[in-house]
Structures are given as structure tokens and as C-alpha cells.
Structure 1
Amino acid sequence: MARPTHDLEYEQMLLSRHGLVRHQGGRPQHSTLERSAYILLSRIRIQGPMSIGELSEAFNLDASTLNRQTAAAMRSGLVERIPDPEGGMARKFRITDEGARILDEERRHTVASLDRVMADWADEDIAAFATYLRRFNMDIERLGGRPWPRP
């Protein structure tokens, strides 16, 4: 008999292919932020300014990948480079006011999309789903040794 993790694998695969689509005037609208920028801005916002090394450790990504992502975010005015507020040698990236505004807008659209998807769900069911998803993510983080800060 197959373990329930077989069903979970399939549903997780389907979940990863769904991009929550926003609608405006009945027409699908694409996201303002690329997924990598959304995650980058979210992490910097919750943790504060971060260096390439800190981002590399947090995301388990090569520094060259993060250099490309942060360069694109800087060109878009989403982040800026600043001296280390604690006096360290490495320069850090801080979210700009425009980056914060766009991140907030993106979050509002994502929550609105989730509200549409879960319109027939009871609040208790949504809370339970969020609890299980948080537990799932935290166990992945624990195994990888990279906990993600939460508000």
C-alpha cells in the first residue's frame, strides 16, 4: 500500500505549477514581481539589510546567482546597497520605499487571489491549512538547517 506521501507528492507538484493569477476586469493579469524578487524582498524586509554572503546562506544559492538577482532588483529600484549598519566590511542590500510599496501591492493581490480560491472554505479550515503548511515548511527548514524568519 502506498504511503500518503505519494498523494502529497503529486499535489505538491500541482501546487508548484499553479501561479495564483490575479484578475482585473475579468482578464488575467500577471504579477508585478518575479517570484525570485518577491522572495528576496520578503526576506530582506523581515530580517533587515543583508549582504550577498548572508543571502547566499539564507537561500542556499551560489553568490553569482544572488549577484544577478540583486543587480536586477537594484535596476528596478526595489533594493539599494548600503554600508553595513553594524560597521562590517560587506555592503548590504536594503529594500527601498518603492520595493516595499510593490511588495505590499503584490501581497494584497496574492491574498485576494487566495480569498477567491478559498471563498467556500471556513476560516477554521484556512487556519488549519496554514498551520499544516507552516509545519511542513518548518520541517523542511529544520532538515536543511536554514530556518526562515516569520513575522
Structure 2
Amino acid sequence: MPDRDAALETIQRELTAFARRARHKAAQLHPELSLVTYSMLDLVKERGSCRGADLAAHFMLDKSTVSRQVGALERLGLLGRKADPDDQRGQLLHLTDAGEQLLADAYEQRRRAFTDRFTSWGDEDLGRFAAYLVRYGESE
């Protein structure tokens, strides 16, 4: 059991460091955006559009917190709103052209960083690591 405990401790330490680096990288991409706001933009892009309540539920955040984040993204010109065709009382959030471009730039920067980081890894190791990450993500 000591090896398992040591492995779990290493995983915790490394994932915490990974999250710290991700927050730092997010701040470098745009000084007014956090990792959470980038994640919100990514989810809106993935879904095409969504409600603020959908963001709150997905990220397990209070609606007022999401409302502040969405307001900041709107002021930066990265998110817009449109009437929900299924419920005229509701509004759907969508990426603006500036939001699309910001995410495209961020994706390219991340892609280059990952390419550089994994240069010395063989295809088999890289494939195994990718599969482990998927397995970890699906286990929640």
C-alpha cells in the first residue's frame, strides 16, 4: 500500500502544479481573463450557445458568480446574447468574432506548448498518456 499512497500523493501534487500553470498561462493570454472565464468561453464554443444557468450548472458555480463573469466577457466583447428561440424570456450566450479569435489564438498557443513539451516522448508513451487522461476524466 505505501507505493499506492506515494503514487496518489505524486498525482495530487502534479495535478495541483498543472492547474497552477494553467491559471498562469490563462493570465498570460489575456490579463483580464481567468482560467474559469476561458473555460466558460470554451464551453460556449463547444455548445454553440448556452444560458448562463447552463454555465453555472456545468462549473458548479453560483448564478451570481457566473453573471459577473459573463458580464465581464460581454464588456470585453467576447460574448454576446441573443433571444432563445425556444423561450423568448431567456437569452442564449454566444461567442462574438473577437471571442472566436481569442480562443483560436489560445488553442494555437497551447498546441505549440504541448508540441514542445512532448517532443522527446515516443508515440506509444504519448498515446498511453492521452488514454489515461481520458480515463481519468471519464471516472468522475
Counterpart check, 1:11 vs 2:14: yes
Q: How does 1:1-150 map to 2 (within 5 A)?
A: 1-2=1-2, 3=4, 4-19=7-22, 30-32=28-30, 33-140=33-140
Measure, in 2, the Cα distance between the counterparts of 1:111 and 1:123: 16
Instruction: Please say if residues 49 and 92 of structure 2, whose CA atoms lie closer than 8 Å, have aligned partners that are also in contact.
Output: yes
Alpha carbons of structure 1 residues 20 and 125: separation in structure 2 relative to 1, 3 Å: farther
Shift of 1:21: 7.4
Unaligned runs of 5+ in 2: none
Q: Write out per-residue CA displacement over residues 74-123 of structure 1, whole angstroms, 9 at most, x where no aligned residue.
A: 01111001101323521111111110111011010011011111111123
Q: Sequence identity, in percent?
A: 27
- Say if 1:109 and 1:21 are closer, same or farther in 2 by CA, change over 3 A: farther
Relative CO higher for 1 or 2, CA cutoff 8 Å, sep ≥ 6? 1
Q: Indicate the SS of the match to 2:81.
A: strand
Deviation at 1:19, TM superposition (A): 3.5
SS for the counterpart of 1:49 is coil
RMSD, aligned α-carbons: 2.1
TM-score by length of 2: 0.84
Distance in 2, matches of 1:63 and 1:20, equals: 22
Secondary structure of the 2:139 match is helix
- Using the size of structure 1 for normalisation, the TM-score is 0.79
Distance 2:36 2:93 in 1: 15
Q: Name stretches of at least 5 consecutive residues in structure 1 with no aligned partner.
A: 23-28, 141-151
Distance 1:40 1:20 in 2: 14
- Give the length in aligned residue pairs: 134
